[in-house]
Amino acid sequence: MNQVLTQDEINSLLRGLSEGDIEQDSVEMDEAPNAKKFDLANQERIIRGRMPTMELIHDRFARQFRTSLGNFLGRTCFANVGGIEMIKFGLFMKKLPLPSSLHIFRMPPLSGY
């Protein structure tokens, strides 16, 4: 017997589940008494201690940004590194003063990692 479903079979199963033609199995709590609910959207992650690598990255970025911006503008510029903390993105966005500038960038992994 072939164990691979065709795309038509998959679509039929999904349609049957959404229309209620096929009953869905549900896991009873009796079967998993030690299971705990975990909400990925609301779970608070606590990271204790310092993050020295993140501090190093921020310090170097601030130093190079200050130098580059100063060279571009022809004036002395200041860039300060704030404290590093872990918060939800929604809370972070609410705390940003207006006007603000938020930059996101990607970089290839460091060699050897």
What is the secondary structure of 65-90 as a DSSP string?
A: HHHHHHHHHTS-------------HH
- The residues, any chain, with a CB within 8 Å of residue 15's CB and separated by 6 or more, are 21
**Domain for residue 3, yes or no?**
no
The whole-number average pLDDT for the span 8-20 is 83
Q: Which of 84, 85, 87, 79 is nearest to 60 (CA)?
A: 79
**Domain for residue 9, yes or no?**
no
Split into its structural domains, the chain has a count of: 1
**Domain for residue 83, yes or no?**
yes
Grouping H, G, I as helix, E, B as strand and the rest as coil, residue 113 is coil
The pLDDT assigned to 20 comes to 74
* pLDDT tens per residue across span 26-67: 655 555 667 777 766 665 666 666 778 888 888 999 999 999
Residue 55 identity: E
Can you give the residue range of the structural domain that contains 80?
A: 46-89
The pLDDT assigned to 42 comes to 64
The pTM for the full model equals 0.42
Query: Are the C-beta atoms of 84 and 58 separated by less than 8 Å?
Result: yes
* pLDDT tens per residue across span 85-109: 777 778 888 888 889 887 887 888 8
**Domain for residue 64, yes or no?**
yes
**Domain for residue 16, yes or no?**
no
Confidence check: pLDDT of 16 > 90: no
**Domain for residue 109, yes or no?**
no
